[in-house]
């Protein structure tokens, strides 16, 4: 069952030194700004928690992992400042994931779109099912995946980023995502995924915290400039969101 709360939900459970962070929203597990702020804060808190050795990021339901940022919220953006604030949500989350001292494991049970692909790319190790196709649809509504682009490029390379972002209506399957480095393992079913993820996460969390922190730091080498880069990208995205083409595309979405 997914959440029916308009602002979505975010729950964390810690067991065997593994923190399971689960998010949900009735609109395809999409993110409103409040949820993104909460998720960034949660990663910061877990990073400082000595009782946690590893983190699992997952979503509610079986059909979709994450539909990205809330288009309903984007529709009400009226000024460049509001646009910047809207797109800064994922910037904050990606930077919190980048700076996290604990390895973050992704559990991707279904499709990921837009910002959802960014979340996947920012995880350190990702378990996915065959149903976990991905798509960057931003260009089709007049914006671009500028904020999440560095995270996607870090895993899939510039060519992979181009393949995704320049074919906004095309789904890439889970095996394509694995080949490009966005997924680490792909499973036939959710039950198989969960069995291996549970074992893997508990084992990983039992290892030396200092060693894990040192490794995650190495994995994110060369990204210190993201602190300002992602904010700059949010500003540019906010301007694009106010374009005539984008407003027309969003109006069509509203009338569906």
What's residue 39's pLDDT? Answer: 98
User: Structure tokens of 240?
Assistant: 């694009």
What's residue 245's pLDDT? Answer: 87
Q: What are 196's strand-pairing partners? A: none
Determine the Cα–Cα distance for residues 112 and 40; give it in Å rounded to an integer: 19
Of 1 and 227, the structure prediction assigns the larger pLDDT to: 227
Res. 131: pLDDT tops 60: yes
Q: Looking at residues 104-118, what average pLDDT do you find?
A: 98
pTM above 0.75, yes or no: yes
Res. 252: pLDDT tops 90: no
Residue 255: pLDDT band by 50, 70, 90 thresholds?
A: low
Work out the mean pLDDT of the chain and round it to a whole number: 94
Residue 250: pLDDT band by 50, 70, 90 thresholds?
A: confident
- Model pLDDT for residues 137-167, shown as the tens digit of each residue: 999 999 999 999 999 999 999 999 999 999 9
- Model pLDDT for residues 15-59, shown as the tens digit of each residue: 999 999 999 999 999 999 999 999 999 999 999 999 999 999 999
**Backbone phi and psi for residue 4, each to the nearest 5 degrees, phi listed first:** -115, 15
**Backbone phi and psi for residue 98, each to the nearest 5 degrees, phi listed first:** -60, -35
- Model pLDDT for residues 79-100, shown as the tens digit of each residue: 999 999 999 999 999 999 999 9
Distant-in-sequence, close-in-space partners of 108: CB < 8 Å, separation ≥ 6: 65, 120, 126, 127, 128, 129, 132, 183
DSSP class per residue in 91-146: HHHHHHHHH-SS-EEEEE-SEEETHHHHHHHHSSEEEEETT--EE--GGGGT---T
What's residue 1's pLDDT? Answer: 38
- Model pLDDT for residues 211-238, shown as the tens digit of each residue: 999 999 999 999 999 999 999 999 999 9
What are the chain's domains? 9-189 (3.90.226.10)
170: left (phi over 0), alpha (psi -120 to 50) or beta: beta
């Amino acid at each position: 069952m997914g959440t029916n709360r308009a602002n979505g939900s975010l729950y964390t459970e810690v067991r065997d030194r593994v923190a399971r962070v689960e998010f949900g929203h009735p609109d395809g597990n999409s993110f409103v700004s409040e949820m993104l702020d909460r998720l960034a804060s949660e990663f910061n808190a877990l990073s400082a928690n000595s009782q946690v050795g590893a983190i699992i990021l997952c979503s509610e339901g079986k059909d979709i992992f994450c539909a990205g940022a809330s288009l309903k919220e984007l529709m009400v953006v009226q000024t460049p400042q509001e646009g910047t604030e809207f797109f800064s949500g994922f910037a904050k989350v990606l930077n919190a994931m980048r700076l996290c001292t604990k390895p973050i494991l992704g559990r991707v049970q279904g499709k990921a779109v837009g910002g959802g692909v960014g979340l996947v790319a920012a995880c350190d190790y990702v378990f996915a099912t065959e149903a976990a196709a991905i798509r960057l649809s931003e260009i089709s509504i007049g914006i671009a995946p500028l904020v999440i682009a560095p995270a996607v490029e870090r895993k899939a390379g510039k060519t992979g980023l181009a393949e995704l972002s320049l074919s906004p209506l095309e789904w890439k399957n889970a095996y394509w995502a694995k080949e490009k480095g966005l997924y680490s393992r792909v499973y036939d079913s959710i039950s198989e995924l969960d069995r291996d993820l549970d074992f893997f996460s508990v084992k990983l969390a039992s290892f030396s915290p200092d060693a894990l922190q040192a490794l995650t730091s190495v994995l994110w080498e060369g990204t210190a400039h993201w602190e300002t880069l992602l904010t700059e990208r949010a500003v540019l995205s906010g301007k694009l969101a106010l374009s005539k083409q984008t407003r027309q595309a969003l109006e069509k979405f509203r009338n569906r």
